[in-house]
Amino acid sequence: MTSPLTDLNPFEIASELGLKPFQGKQIFRWLHARRVFDPEAMTDLSKALRERMRATCVFAQLRQEHVMQSARTGAKKILFRLLDDETVESVLLRDRDRVTLCLSTQVGCALGCAFCATGQSGFVRNLRAGEIVEQALHLLEGEEIAGRTPNIVYMGMGEPFQNYESVMRSLRLLMDPDGLGIGARKITVSTAGDIPGIERFAREDLQVRLSISLHAADDELRSRLVPLNQRYPLRRLFEAIRRYISLTGRHVSFEWVLLKGVNDSARDAHALARLIAGLNATVNLIPYNPVEGRGFASPGAAAVAAFRQILAEDGVKTTQRRERGQDIDAACGQLRAHHAGP
Ligand code: SAH
Ligand code: SF4
């Protein structure tokens, strides 16, 4: 056995273990639908198979090391220990009866955005598909999800398109009807503007949503905030986004983290509106969650409302991320690796 079981779809589980397809499905259901990782508890498998699996297979790749719950918002953040002792964090956010899972795709991130906690820690390694999916499985432990499947956002630690293969595999595993069966439209992948990734993603046979972290409407400021902009400047990025929209017929969203005195003025709002005019797009405004030592601050509620008002007047549709979970540092974009343990 080479691959951990949670990296594999039902067909691959059957083929790796030399089983019939229906047995691959049974095992996949235990892991992904019932979230059972102990072979002893997989009671519809023969004793001989359970013993063979126990001797040869890796079941869970993540160990829940530390759970933080926000008493105020019900948000939950989990620190996971990986098999090689690295760590990642993931978050469950609640908004009325809707649950959103924020998943990490890498340990750290190589892109070093100026305001981001993850970027501070540098890049350690890519996550495997099973390590991404298991975050969702563990976050949903003990949650009553019947009838209202969660939303999933790839907005935790890491740049999804710099771990392209594993991210695509994880999307298909999350969508598998024998597992969590999450609808593609309930999943959003967020990129800092990785053009090759956007171009590949446009050709995938997936209805998963795409979000682009923009934060600035001119190259000078954007290169300062998102250094990847030096490699993929706005003109080329928008060519890729236009091609994506025309090829897929899909809508995109732009994330704009509002940083006080940096990108929150009326001028910034008008420039943003001009940049995305005519695109099938909405802007998701995110009040900054301050990260110590980065030198940025969050604008007040009035400044956020004013920014939003200008965009509305310029014909731009906006959504605003509600602030949920700051009290446990659990907002997306605020996750970091804890190398020193909990
Ligand atoms: N690497 C990808 C996805 C992970 S970051 C990307 O950059 O898009 C997810 C979102 O959180 C991005 O829009 C990012 O800019 C934002 N973010 C990062 N740090 C943040 C912070 N401290 N407060 C609010 N949003 C933040
Ligand atoms: Fe990486 Fe996204 Fe953070 Fe930038 S904002 S450093 S791309 S995780």
Block means of pLDDT (10 residues each) for the chain, 342 residues, are 90 97 98 95 97 96 92 89 95 88 96 91 94 97 79 96 98 97 97 98 97 98 98 98 97 97 98 96 92 90 95 95 57 51 34
Q: Give the mutation target among 91, 102, 106, 116 for probing the ligand 2 site: most ligand atoms within 8 A of CB.
A: 116
Centre of ligand 1 to C-alpha 332, Å, is: 6
The binding-site residues of ligand 2, defined as CB within 6 angstroms of any ligand atom, are: 109, 111-113, 116, 118-119, 158-159, 192, 333
Q: Beta strand pairing status for 62-69 and 76-82? A: antiparallel
pLDDT at res. 146: 66
Rounded-to-integer distance, Cα 131 and Cα 136, Å = 9
Nearest bound ligand to CA 332? Answer: 1
Beta-strand runs (E) in 231-308 = 252-258, 281-287
Q: Whose CA is nearest to atom 6 of ligand 2?
A: 119
Residue 58 has φ and ψ, to the nearest 5°, of -95, 125
pLDDT at 137: 96
Ligand number with the minimum distance to the CA of 109: 2
Ligand 1 near 288 CB (within 6 A): yes
Q: Whose CA is nearest to atom 18 of ligand 1?
A: 333
| For the CA of 190, the nearest atom of ligand 2 | 2
Q: Is 146 helix (H, G, I), strand (E, B) or coil?
A: coil
| pLDDT for residue 203 | 97
- Of the ligands numbered here, which is closest to the C-alpha atom of 288? 1
Whose Cα sits closest to atom 4 in ligand 1? 155
Strand pairing report for 76-82 and 106-108: unpaired
Q: Is residue 191 lining ligand 1, measured as CB closer than 6 Å? A: yes
Q: Which run of H or E residues covers position 210?
A: strand 209-213
Distance CA 132, CA 136 (A): 7
Atom 8 of ligand 2, nearest CA residue: 158
255 Cβ below 6 A of ligand 1: yes
Amino acid at 311: L
Which ligand 1 atom sits closest to the C-alpha of 111?
Answer: 1
Query: Measured in angstroms, how far is the CA atom of residue 188 from the centroid of ligand 2?
Result: 16
User: Could you list the active site residues?
Assistant: 89, 332
Cα angle 213, 215, 217; round to 5: 115
Report how far residue 219's alpha carbon sits from residue 237's, in angstroms, rounded to the nearest whole number: 11
Ligand 1 atom showing the smallest separation from residue 157 Cα: 4
What pLDDT is attached to residue 327?
Answer: 57
314: burial class by Cβ within 10 Å (0-12, 13-18, 19+)? middle
Predicted pLDDT at 333: 52
